[in-house]
Structure 1
Amino acid sequence: MLKRWWPAALWAAIIFVLCSIPGKDIPSAGWMHAVSLDKWVHFVMFAVLSILVLHGLRRSSGRDEYWPFQWWWVGLVVLYGALTEGYQHWFLEDRYADVYDFVANTLGALVGTWIYHRYHHLYYRRVESGKTF
């Protein structure tokens, strides 16, 4: 059971470590503010986390049985995004909570969910037709 969840747990730990880096130690570049690279990083981190969580859920519960529970798990990914922002605000000296980071986290989790389902829909359609990748 745990081996199915270790990628998601490892990625959540990586997110926690990255969110713990003091603000003064994060490289800053003039172009970074123009393209909001920070928001894209949050978006990608949480998209990957939701994909890994749904993959663990699917492998734990079987092919179609996970569907009713997926939104609870995506909700937990969003909650984790909120908790990382709170952690930065209350426990780190050089960091602060940013509502736009939370929005990027949430959108990343939702888009990651869409990507996961899109991929699996295409994959299982190919498997059922007898084609392989």
Structure 2
Amino acid sequence: MRLIRYYLPAIIWILMVLYVCTIPGEKVPTSPFFEKIHMDKIVHFSLFGCTVLLLCIGAYRQKGMISKTNLTLIAIAASFYGLAIEYIQKYIAIHRSFDMNDVAADTLGAIGGIIAFNLIRKWGWLKSPSAPNK
């Protein structure tokens, strides 16, 4: 149970992403402006960037460090999660469809999440749990 505390924000976020990505299509807000700026892709990028960021923060807080291999594995897992959601939209969700451009946005968002995590860590906004208190 102690392990889950590091990942609880990520778990809640991942479940929220699943919910948002599988609500019926007619409940998804649309507007010509949003379509023009590809708001759907911006949303996918943000959802999966935040997913990776939260998972990386959880791993970092649990272990006090995170390897490049683990960063890569988290991003790959998030990308496959995005792909799985597209299949759920195609076969299970009501009035939703499969879109490889969404998968691309998810993958780019996952990479963005790694970049954001590295910047947060570099700037000192994220302290290792083993770091002494000042």
Query: Which bin holds the TM-score, normalised by the shorter protein?
Result: 0.7 to 0.9
Q: Which residue is equivalent to 1:3? A: 5
Map 1:77-88 onto structure 2 (within 5 A): 77-88=78-89
Structure 1 residue 68 displacement after superposition = 3.2
What TM-score, normalized to structure 2?
Answer: 0.87
What residue ranges of structure 2 are gaps of 5+ in the alignment?
126-133
Structure 1 residue 21 displacement after superposition = 0.9
Kept after mapping to 2: 8 A contact 1:57/1:66? no
Of 98-107 and 85-94, deviating more is: 85-94
Selected match of 2:60 from 33, 58, 61: 58
Q: Secondary structure at the match of 1:17?
A: helix
Runs of 4+ in 1 over 2 A off after TM superposition: 65-68
Q: Give the number of the structure whose residues are more often helix, by fraction.
A: 1
What residue ranges of structure 1 are gaps of 5+ in the alignment?
125-131
Identity %: 25
Q: Which residue is equivalent to 2:31? A: 29
How big is the alpha-carbon RMSD for the aligned residues of Structure 1 and Structure 2?
A: 1.7
Structure 1 residue 59 displacement after superposition = 1.2
Q: Secondary structure at the match of 1:19?
A: helix
Structure 1 residue 20 displacement after superposition = 1.3
Q: How many residues align?
A: 125
Kept after mapping to 1: 8 A contact 2:75/2:107? no
Q: Which whole-Å CA distance do the structure 1 matches of 2:31 and 2:116 have between them?
A: 31
Structure 1 residue 67 displacement after superposition = 3.7
What TM-score, normalized to structure 1?
Answer: 0.87
